[in-house]
Amino acid sequence: MSALLLYPTAFAIFVVFLFNLRSLLNRRSRPLPPGPTPWPIIGNLPHMGAVPHHSLAALARKYGPLMHLRLGFVDVIVAASASVAAQFLKVHDANFSSRPPNSGAKYIAYNYQDLVFRPYGARWRMLRKISSVHLFSTKVLDDYRHVRQEEIAILTRALANAGSSAVNLGQLLNVCAVNALGRVMLGRRVFGDGSGGGDPKADEFKSMVVEVMVLAGVFNVGDFIPALECLDLQGVAAKMKKLHKRFDDFLGEILEEHKVSLRDGRGKHTDMLTTLISLMDNADADGEKLTETEIKALLLNMFTAGTDTTSSTVEWAIAELIRHPKILAQAQKELDSVVGPNRLVTDMDLPHLTYFHAVIKETFRLHPSTPLSLPRMASESCEINGYHIPKGSTLLVNVWAIARDPNEWAEPLEFRPERFLPGGEKPNVDVKGNDFEVIPFGAGRRICAGMSLGLRMVQLLTATLIHAFNWELPDGRRPEKLNMEEAYGLTLQRAEPLVVHPRPRLFPEAYRRI
């Protein structure tokens, strides 16, 4: 009997050997993109460094803008130029429209039930359609214009009343972004009166969002060497599970309060969560219904990706303008001519601010909120620029490196808004995924669903802060000495929070109007 069992086993081993040999021969006949030599078992994981988008940019300078890495047992393809990114996100977009398995989506994002990490397919298309129609359509954004303006006015008043105290600008921006989103999504503020004055819940929420972005940005060994996943060598999975519990409690409480309020008929609900809850009971045009888990997963996406990216981008913009007082003065001159000294900026002013929009584009270029694109996965093998891209490969687009590519940009490390003005080097480039030289929101089918809201919020917040205040660093620090180092995570945080003195520059009545 044992001899009989031996033959099938030997045959199976032989088949596996032939399969691996064929794969090896195929790879030799169809070369992979160049890249650094991988280490045994762990592959190129040591090459990722403490700040992966920096490390990958350095590797691209040596091996070229299309690279192959082996992270554990996973093929990873890195795109680090606009032309290469366009091949993946435009020409072969359909093939790279799904996400690879990862611990962040599994342990934090409700096991791939959200919009950001859900695999491409019918259910993802349903969530995308719901978001496009009910959350981010032009009509919805216009209907809630007053909410954004009111919350920014409250922030502006708080800054004007700061007196001689220095403020942590990023923290206040985060409270503003969360409360603006909360009023749209939930019909109420999430934190206090919106001023951000010493609210411990706001501090805790900000720390939770930062932690989720840091953990989601970690290259977890278990994602690339499946046999080690259960060991959780970095402790990442355990931290993710604890953080998910905190978010689930936070979101579950919000959802339950809303459902009770709706059952009791208290108040008039015109917020987005009410619409989402209605889709649990009433199917859409295609007969699909939302589940409670999907609603919480959507809320998680909104309250993490929809707030942290906004506040960090505005924080980077103000930091750059502090370092470049001539650019700040030019932006203020334009705002003064369009808005005047008696009121704050509104959405209706934004189309008339040509130089200001160049400032925003330059901020997105140098400080993209997601420096490494969220990973995509090859559904089938394909060929890019003569190189073989294996099925199941993970694609990373180095958005940060592309936006600093000296082959695309003159003096790429300099903050120069003029490059986007008529007569500049890139006057017609936008940030909406059509021009691959600067793609802070991604491109193609998996472009950020909340791009329109994010753009409006970043633009209005930044314009208001530029127009309403002059900015000084505490303790007489010189602007050119401002720390501009990055802290790596899924989103691009400042290594050192921006602490500033806001100095009001408008007439007093401008800060009192809401």
CA–CA distance, 246 with 301 (Å, rounded to integer):
15
- Residue type at 359 in one-letter notation: V
CA–CA distance, 419 with 438 (Å, rounded to integer):
13
CA–CA distance, 417 with 425 (Å, rounded to integer):
10
Residue 259 structure tokens: 């459902």
Q: What is the largest CA-CA distance in the chain?
A: 95
For 154, list phi and psi in degrees, rounded to 5. Answer: -65, -45
CA–CA distance, 228 with 365 (Å, rounded to integer):
37
Q: Is 176 annotated as a binding residue?
A: no
Type and span of the H or E element at 274:
helix 272-281
DSSP E strand stretches across 399-494 = 469-472, 486-487, 493-494
Compute CA distances 438 → 91, 409, 430, 432, 442, whole Å. 17, 10, 8, 9, 9
Other CB atoms closer than 10 Å to residue 163's CB: what's the count? Answer: 7
CA–CA distance, 237 with 103 (Å, rounded to integer):
7
CA–CA distance, 303 with 251 (Å, rounded to integer):
10
Whether residue 468 contacts residue 511, with contact meaning beta carbons closer than 8 Å, is answered with yes
Q: Identify the burial level of 398 via C-beta atoms within 10 angstroms of its C-beta, where 0-12 means exposed, 13-18 middle and 19 or more buried.
A: buried
Whether residue 460 contacts residue 347, with contact meaning beta carbons closer than 8 Å, is answered with yes
Positions at the binding site for heme: 448
Positions at the binding site: 448
